[in-house]
Amino acid sequence: MTELMQKKIDELEKRNETALAGGGADKIAKHKKGGRLSARERVEILLDPGSFVEMDRFVTNRSTPEAARVPGDGVITGYGRVNGKLIYVSSQDFTVVGGSMSRTQANKVCKVMDLALKNGAPFVSINDSGGARIQEGIESLGGYADIFSRNVLSSGVIPQITAIMGPCAGGAVYSPSITDFVFMVENTSYMFVTGPDVIKAVTHEEVTKEDLGGAATHSQKSGVAHFTAHDDKHCLLLIRELLSFLPSNNLDDSVSLATKDRPDRIVESLNSLIPDSPKKPYDMLALISEVVDEGYFLEIHKNFAANIIVGFARFNGRPVGIVANQPQILAGCLNIEASRKAARFIRFCDAFNLPVVSFVDVPGFLPGKDQEWNGIITHGAKLLYAYAEATVPKVTLITRKAYGGAYIVMGSKLLRSDVNLAFPSAEIAVMGAEGAVNIIKREEISKAKDPAAERSRLTAEYETQFSNPYVSAELGYTDEVIEPALTRKRIIDSLEMLKNKRDIIPPKKHGNIPL
Ligand code: HXC
């Protein structure tokens, strides 16, 4: 090497050292006190070892006085691999001006977002920021708007994931909520449009940051967060796990993995899963884990609207989205939160060509003033819309109850589902036998010598006549009534049969889902 080249390399190393130091050792130490990782460590854990390629490391903010400029301007951006597959990433560095969003920072983020979209690879945003860089005013707001626009244009083309690993307040919350999946870290992250101080001034309510917008709040109450993690590392590993199920983009067809789990595995235990009494609950998660490849199910929105289960699993190596009623919670009925949760999930699956497998045990929509006043009509319609609009293979299995409107909504053949299966224990009817008899046999019951005995007799009669899978099977609404032990085999048969499904919806700019 010539002397001149050595000098140039030395200078490069010095510049790299300055950039890698971020906000400096003191600020990094302060940042890491609460168990948080640095912005760079986060990227390293998210990506396969040694795969990160940083871009724009030396970009500085030209509106900051030269002496105060920090290379990178508070965000690390670039690309790398997760499980061998390309992804793009940005990671805000709180040690540099509080990770606040400057025009320069936004430009860096937009550059990788544009590349992610053009190259069809997922984008992961790690957020840890005091929000808009106050010194920059509207310039910073413009930066946010540029990111929001890209989030919207990328939606449905590439998977977008956000990890909230610190503060996320004001308008900054809207980029995460446009992305497909939001992760939050317990105790160290929070999201809100207006913070506790503003709330106190305006409404006189007193609330802590954690209670207002911490991970527990958003994963249980609002549904803003799809996943919560104990700490930064757990969060990043969860993102890797989620990415393992997702195609790189809406045209990517290469997500299958080899499995040792036999496609024709008979699951005898399922023949004893459904209790004899229709009033007794059972755990739908047990059914799911018995039938999917190697019992591996990644549940999404675990703590939000737990009366419906959504998540990813594989059947014979191929990833699918699973939607299932949970009879253990609210008897598995549909309410506002469950409808919103499942509808958005189904739309994600449809956008990214992941088949939807539904397990149904639904007594109906949750009755109540609260539900009606808050718009169960509109929200329930979202779920119906999402199922009907989806063109991916749709396989539905009714294990027990499938009543009324909820039967139609939950992936029934009547809403363009492809295969409808039912257990012999299925009760497919307009409503439960008891309710039905109380309405249509009211007079007979009231005139009977022993009304209670007459009600029981008529209920049993109705059950034999209507609350079974055979009326539906006779009409062709149910394709096959199966022994529960055959569930895995038959779902895989159905998915294989539908492998080359092509379905179209009429050409349009876009539909008008009841938002
Ligand atoms: C510039 C900021 C900043 C910001 C923090 N800093 N937020 N600098 N613009 N938005 C700087 C601090 O001055 C400090 O600099 C360093 O980052 C670390 O901040 P601390 O306050 O010391 O940290 P901490 O005590 O942990 O508190 C974190 C915080 C607090 C809660 C986030 O910094 C804060 O309240 N920041 C302002 C939040 C905010 O109101 N943002 C604007 C929201 S409106 P030094 O030099 O002392 O280390 C918004 C609109 C977006 O974002 C709209 C999009 C459409």
Residues 378 and 237 in one domain: no
**pLDDT tens digits, one per residue of 35-85:** 899 999 999 999 999 999 999 999 999 988 888 899 999 999 999 999 999
Tell me which H or E stretch contains 45.
helix 39-46
Residues 322 and 181 in one domain: no
Residues 444 and 370 in one domain: no
Residues 316 and 380 in one domain: yes
Locus of tokens 């105790």: 187
Residues 52, 59: Cα–Cα separation, whole Å: 18
Residues 132 and 149 in one domain: yes
pTM of the model: 0.96
Probe target for ligand 1 pocket from 30, 33, 61, 97, with the most ligand atoms within 8 Å of CB: 97
Q: Is residue 183 part of a domain?
A: yes
Domain extent for 476:
268-430+469-498
Q: Is residue 142 part of a domain?
A: yes
Q: Is residue 289 part of a domain?
A: yes
Residues 462 and 473 in one domain: no
Q: Is residue 7 part of a domain?
A: no
Probe target for ligand 1 pocket from 134, 136, 189, 193, with the most ligand atoms within 8 Å of CB: 134
User: DSSP class of residue 58?
Assistant: T
Residues 304 and 408 in one domain: yes
Joined together, the tokens standing for residue 284 give 């739908």
Q: Is the CB of 169 under 6 A from ligand 1?
A: yes
Torsion of CA 445, 446, 449, 454, to 10 degrees: 20
Tally of domains in the chain:
3
Residues 219 and 289 in one domain: no
Q: Is residue 132 part of a domain?
A: yes
Q: Is residue 22 part of a domain?
A: no
Provide mean pLDDT across the span 442-451.
Answer: 90
Our answer to whether residue 405 is catalytic in this structure is yes
Residues 211 and 353 in one domain: no
Q: What pLDDT score does 462 carry? A: 87
Which CATH number is 108's domain given?
3.90.226.10
Tell the residue nearest (CA) to atom 17 of ligand 1. 98
Residues 86 and 64 in one domain: yes
**pLDDT tens digits, one per residue of 343-387:** 999 999 999 999 999 999 999 999 999 999 999 999 999 999 999
| CA 99 to ligand 1 center in whole angstroms | 8
Residues 54, 101: Cα–Cα separation, whole Å: 19
Q: What pLDDT score does 68 carry? A: 87
- Nearest Cα neighbor of 127 from 194, 75, 52, 82 is 75
Residues 329 and 207 in one domain: no
- Nearest Cα neighbor of 121 from 179, 162, 82, 174 is 82
Q: What pLDDT score does 245 carry? A: 97
Strand bridging mode 297-300 / 318-325: unpaired
Question: How far is Cα of residue 207 from the mean position of the Cα atoms in its chain?
Answer: 28
Residues 231 and 286 in one domain: no
